[in-house]
């Protein structure tokens, strides 16, 4: 196969993918360079790529209740963390020659565009990468749910969830050596088995709209490009 099997994809990146390693906080130059080069290589196939970025390497809003910050405020703080990551990733992508726009669900006019669906699609059609920051713009919704929502709004054919493991396992493979990997799963399998892939709201959105997911390890060389070309990496979730 010499052509990509998808034309427009949404890539969901956790904030940790921009940090130095597992459990690390902040931004790492090497991680930013690696992920931007992976996206550049995939972009060279002629595929339109949108990205939803998390903020866990800066802070996790839901965890701030331990210091007395209410959930709603903590969630807004988490959304702002995704804007920081979005700007960092934009800089890294433009440094490797990829025209990029950041659109935020929370308006911050000095540093990003406001999210406008038609404008986002136009950017994609012009060959730009679009980074969606700010989650959904509403508390109590994760960036996974934002990924499902934005993917459907822009007409993406698939969500690529880039993680630290190479698919979905019966148990945490970093803890349980006997854990085995699923090659394919249905949405209902994920929900019924309580598999920690994406939260139930985002999985339900994908299921209702028949939007497939591919979960793979983004730290494996050329993984995004390989999945685009139809290689069976990771785990596919579908009907």
pLDDT range class, residue 1, cuts 50, 70, 90 = low
Return the half-sphere exposure (C-beta side, CA atoms, 13 A cut-off) of residue 159: 33
Is residue 23 in a domain? yes
In the predicted structure, residue 151 carries a pLDDT above the cut 60:
yes
Is residue 1 in a domain? no
Domain range for 62 is 8-238
Using one digit for the tens of pLDDT, what is the confidence trace for 23-45? 789 999 999 999 999 999 999 99
Strands (E) in the chain, as ranges, are: 8-13, 48-53, 100-104, 113-114, 129-133, 158-163, 168-169, 181-182, 184-186, 213-217, 235-238
In the predicted structure, residue 113 carries a pLDDT above the cut 60:
yes
Q: Report the CATH number at residue 140.
A: 3.40.1160.10
Is residue 102 in a domain? yes
Report residue 127 as tokens.
């060959």
Q: What is the dihedral of CA 174, 177, 178, 182, to 10 degrees?
A: 40
Counting the structural domains of the chain, the total is 1
Whole-prediction pTM:
0.94
Residues 6 or more apart from 124 whose CB is under 8 A from it?
Answer: 8, 48, 49, 50, 130, 154
């Amino acid at each position: 196969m010499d052509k990509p099997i998808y034309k427009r994809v949404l890539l969901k990146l956790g904030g940790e993918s921009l940090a130095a390693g597992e459990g690390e906080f902040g931004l790492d130059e090497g991680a930013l360079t690696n992920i931007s080069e992976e996206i550049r290589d995939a972009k060279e196939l002629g595929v339109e790529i949108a990205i939803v970025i998390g903020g866990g390497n800066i802070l996790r809003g839901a965890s701030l209740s331990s210091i007395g910050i209410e959930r709603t405020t903590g969630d807004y703080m988490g959304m702002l963390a995704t804007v920081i990551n979005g700007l960092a990733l934009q800089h890294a992508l433009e440094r490797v020659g990829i025209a990029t726009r950041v659109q935020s669900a929370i308006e911050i006019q000095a540093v990003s565009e406001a999210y406008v669906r038609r404008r986002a699609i136009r950017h994609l059609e012009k060959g730009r990468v679009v980074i969606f920051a700010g989650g959904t713009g509403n508390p109590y919704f994760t960036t996974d749910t934002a990924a499902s929502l934005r993917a459907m709004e822009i007409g993406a054919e698939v969500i690529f969830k880039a993680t630290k493991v190479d698919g979905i396992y019966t148990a945490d493979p970093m803890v349980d050596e006997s854990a085995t990997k699923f090659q394919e799963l249905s949405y209902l399998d994920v929900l019924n088995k309580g598999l920690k892939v994406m939260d139930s709201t985002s999985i339900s959105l994908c299921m209702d709209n028949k939007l497939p997911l591919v979960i793979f390890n983004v730290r494996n060389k050329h993984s995004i490009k390989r999945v685009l070309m139809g290689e069976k990496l990771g785990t596919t979730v579908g009907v």
